[in-house]
Structure 1
Amino acid sequence: MLKPAASILSLALLAGCSLAPKYERPAAPVTAAYPETKAAAPSSAPTAADIAWQQFFGDARLQRLIALALDNNRDLRVSALNVERVRALYNIQRTAYIPSFNATADGSRRRSPDDLNASGEAQTTNSFEIGVRMPSYELDFFGRVASLRDQVLQQYLATDDARLSARLSLISAVARQYLTLLAADEQLTIARQTSDAAQRSYDLNKQTFDAGVTSELDLRTAEGQLQSVRASLATFQQQRAQAENALALLVGGPLPSDLPPAGNLATQPLIADLPAGLPADLLTRRPDIRAAEHTLQAANANIGIARAAFFPSVKLTAFGGTASAELSGLFKEGSGSWSFAPSITLPIFASGKNKAALEVAKIEKRIEIARYEKTIQTAFREVADALAVRATIDTQIAAQQARVSAAQRRYDLSDQRFQAGVDNFVTVLLAQQELFGAQQSLIQARLARLSNLTALYAALGGGWQDAAPTVATKN
């Protein structure tokens, strides 16, 4: 039994040359640097990939919501389960390198009729066998099994990176939706304040109209402004409710009542100075690009599988144990039995099937190359767009703040002149509309800045890892 086993292991060591093409990473189809925007962050600043999401998002309420989403989001659960499934498939495939052995016990009893026996008499024969059997085991001389293992391994790695990419997307989506909810709250607050001011203006005009001091034109103008602001208030209430519903969907359930207090857009503690680095850095930082490359490598291994189909397939079966015609003789001296049965299958004519399969594998690799390059181009544009916004958004916010200050002063002066009877209410109305619009634009600009920082953080490959746990030490 030892001699056949040693022979099998020796042959297994000789097998394993691969017919898959040597993998070479395609050149990135983008420029070597991002378009000029603003001064880069200091080189000493940590890269986005090195910053855990708990460090980038400093708002305690947002941190709690992201943690809940990572625990509860169903799409992320499916991604994690897919990783476990492909990992199990890889564990199955890699066992093909090792012969399997089964303990077997067989018995049979057979009767042969008299006309089939040379003696002319019917005979009954027995056969009993106990031992260890090796089912069909393929010697991988041409790398088919190795290519199958490499293919499943790359699929597993691609699935794991796809999970990390889904995790990054979820964190980014929760952050942006949380910021949208904060913006909706601030817009709603301003709309209520404007509605109260419009109500006071209407009440004042109603009093002066009833006293015969002002005309009905001023009264109806104030009434129109009041109803317009009320309509805007209802719209903002609707948008706020929808934003909360969207956030609850991402989190995976209703928002808990014990969340930390909400912050505001003006004081959100996000890291603003993220070094962009070079486009080549994205190849290792972004999990979606890594997933696309692993898929490409799996397609490359599939070519090796298709090429191996043109060559002979060598398989072995073996058995070692005892055999006897009588059950009682299985363990007697001289009952040892073994068999060793190699087989070779050589494809001779397959109607072009193997050639077509190889052509399909090569085409699939070219498809994956195109997808890989497209993923890189998309990542490059996401970073470039975020950098372009970052270069000008602070200027926009400063301009909007100055606009709000000017609009507020204009409204105060207009209201004073109206109260003094110098101007009519139309002047107040125009000033109030300008102030309301300027305040809403400032909120949108602040939201755009924070959303862009979040998008840049994700585009640069940050957000898929957790912060390292803090280890308590004793003095």
Structure 2
Amino acid sequence: MPLIPSASSISLRQALAASLLAFGLAGCTMGPNFTKPVPAAPSDWTSWRSGDPSLYGTIGTDASLHADWWRAFNDPVLDELVRRGFAASPNLQTVALHVAQARVQRGDAAAQALPQVQASGQVTRQRQSEYGAGTRLLDVVSGSSSGADRDALVKLLSEPFTLYQTGLDAAWEIDLWGKVRRSLEAADAAVAQQAALLDFARLSLSSDVTRNYFDLRTTQRKIMLTREEIAALRERTDLLSARTAGGINNGFDLERQRSELQGLEAQLPPLLAQEALQANQIAVLLGERPGALSELLKPVADGGKPSLPDLALGLPSEIALRRPDIRAAEARLHGATANIGVAKADIYPSIRLGGGFNLESYRSDNLFDWASRTWSIGPSVSLPLFDGGRRKRVVLLRELEQKEAAVAYQHTVLQAWQEIDDALNGYTAEQQQNAKLAARVESARDAFDLATARYRGGIITWLDVIDSQRAMLQASRDLADSNGRLGTRYAALNKAIGNSSASAEAK
């Protein structure tokens, strides 16, 4: 056994020593660590409210509304529409693809921490120059620049030949300053952001489908009531026409009645166009062509006021954590913070461990002989010396982006509570108005029943009965509008509090 180590063993030891030093430094991570923000929230549901205290209502904190909140309407058509929307909505599919893209990019970031291995193979036909570097080396070694032997050797070396090469090359950049770790952290934050946006898209879809559905049902109800009112006016017009022909009434009353009838009939075509428009809006949300949902969305008998549960929203602090847009803003802030570390790591030196094992031969039958091997191993260092301040400006840019994300997060939280307050006030006000309109309909129905009884007793004329019927129909139309708004207000409230199954799981 030789007592003096060979040059190759010394070089290998030096490479291993450099590698061990790099491993020792690899625990350093540049940039600030992310601290999860706690969104601001009121202590109870009477704080952070605007408007009259009569709109505050009573909100339970021991439970929360069901995540599939649209099922509270007990409407199988609405349930089917939401189900179809979740399965086929183009917007939802687009956002889901964004999530998939973010996950692929996360995998790409994770791959940076692994060694990169590449196999190669090459066959080339070559010819050496008779006056190239090899010929000069021949002249230096032989000590002569002329002679028949020299010329013959040069011609022999410059003859075309085929070179066969194959092998493996490997490289690994050691994560000295945590660039890869920060990149992976930023990629994880991007996945979380896109997942939150997907949850927000699902919540928006269910809210939009519900809102458009109740707008459609309200329009259909108004069409039905308008047709009933038109029929009543036509009957009244016919009576006035007969009374005028008999000399009981004058022509002025008849023409005024005809003008009122024509005005009411003029309201019907826009309502029919509005019905078609709202049906198309639902179809677009579900990724369907116009008219594809005609059978499903055909008019139904009036269901009356929606039967909705009492408001039980849980704790305000839980609502702030549940909203998907707040979670998306938090993930964006997390990613911006991690990107500062990525930019700072670029300022410092990088070390790559590289190695290769290759086979090379100008004879195909000797390519895989052990004597045809070539190999290399060792670290390489890259030290940025001058770039005109580009890397430092990138760090400054990332820090400014992080501050922008922090401001956006605070704005998202503030806007969330504004939307919650608006939704609560709107829903409570609609409930109160709906109760008054329902009482008005009951009074109008009682007046119509009384007028009918008085007509049968010969106390009043049939025209008075028709007037009572029209008043009842108008009150019913106003109540139908309120019932539709109550449904849309309930949808807006659930959207405002971020109420969805995915939000509940994320919380």
Q: Which moved more, 1:364-373 or 1:249-258?
A: 249-258
Counterpart code for 2:387 = A
Structure-2 change in CA distance of 1:153 and 1:461 (3 Å): same
**Residue-pair matches, total:** 461
Alignment pair present for 1:94 and 2:129:
no
Counterparts of 1:62 and 1:191, CA distance in 2: 25
Any gaps of 5 or more consecutive residues in structure 2? Answer: 1-7, 48-55, 140-144
Larger radius of gyration: 2
Q: Which residue number corresponds to residue 485 of structure 2?
A: 448
Kindly indicate whether the alpha-carbon contact (under 8 Å) linking 1:54 and 1:467 is maintained by their aligned counterparts in 2: no
Q: Which amino acid aligns with 1:38?
A: G
After superposition, give the CA deviation of every residue in 1:341-384 in whole Å (9 maximum; x if it has no partner).
Answer: 42222222222212211111111111111211222222212222
CA contact (8 A) 2:192 2:328 kept: yes
> Aligned in 2, Cα 1:355/1:295: closer, same or farther, shift over 3 Å?
same
1:315–1:342 Cα contact (<8 Å) kept:
yes
Paired with 2:416 and 2:502, the residues of 1 have a C-alpha distance of 19
Question: Aligned partners of 1:403, 1:332: CA distance in 2, in Å?
Answer: 101
Residue identity in the other structure for 2:413: I
In 1: Cα distance, 2:444 partner to 2:255 partner: 23
What's the CA shift string for 1:186-222, capped at 9, x where partnerless?
1111111111111100000000000001122321232
**81-90 vs 434-443, which moves further:** 434-443
Partners of 1:88 and 1:443 lie apart in 2 by 50
Number of the residue aligned with 2:142: none
The answer for the alignment partner of 2:46 in structure 1 is 35
Q: In the superposition, relative to structure 1, how do residues 411 and 258 fare at CA in structure 2: closer, same or farther (>3 Å)?
A: closer
The letter of the residue matching 2:79 is Q
Paired residue for 2:76, among 60, 68, 71? Answer: 60
Q: Counterparts of 1:25-424 in structure 2 under 5 Å?
A: 25-35=36-46, 37-41=56-60, 43=62, 45=63, 47-48=64-65, 51-52=67-68, 55-56=71-72, 58-106=74-122, 109-114=126-131, 115-119=135-139, 120=145, 121=150, 122=154, 123-124=157-158, 128-134=164-170, 136-253=171-288, 254-256=291-293, 259=296, 262=300, 264-266=302-304, 268=306, 270=308, 272-324=309-361, 326-410=363-447
Q: Distance in 1 between matches of 2:295 and 2:470?
A: 38
Task: Name the amino acid aligned to 2:109.
Answer: Q
Partner of 1:473 in structure 2?
none
State the alpha-carbon separation in 1 of the partners of residues 99 and 311 from structure 2. 31
Q: Deviations over 1:381-420 (max 9, x none)?
A: 2222222234343332221112123234445666888996
Asked whether the equivalents of residues 199 and 503 of structure 2 are also in contact (C-alpha less than 8 Å), the reply is no
- Structure 2 counterpart of 1:471: none
1:461 paired residue number: 498
- Could you tell me how far apart the structure 1 residues matched to 2:503 and 2:382 are? 52
| Cα distance between partner residues in 1 of 2:263 and 2:193 | 53
Distance verdict in 2 for CA 1:80–1:327, change over 3 Å: same
Normalization by structure 2: what TM-score?
Answer: 0.80
Q: Which amino acid in the other structure matches residue 209 of structure 1?
A: T
CA distance in 1, matches of 2:231, 2:397: 70
Contact 1:68 1:251 in 2 (8 A): yes
Q: Deviations over 1:108-147 (max 9, x none)?
A: 645142552333542358865433211x432110111222
Question: Which stretch shows the higher mean deviation, 438-447 or 12-21?
Answer: 12-21
Name the % identity. Answer: 26
Amino acid at match of 1:75: N
Q: Is the 8 A contact 1:60 1:260 kept in 2?
A: no
Q: RMSD over aligned Cα, in angstroms?
A: 3.4
Task: Name the stretch that deviates more: 14-23 or 125-134.
Answer: 125-134
Amino acid at match of 2:235: R
3-state SS, counterpart of residue 18 of structure 1 = coil
Hey, what does 1:18 align to over in structure 2?
29
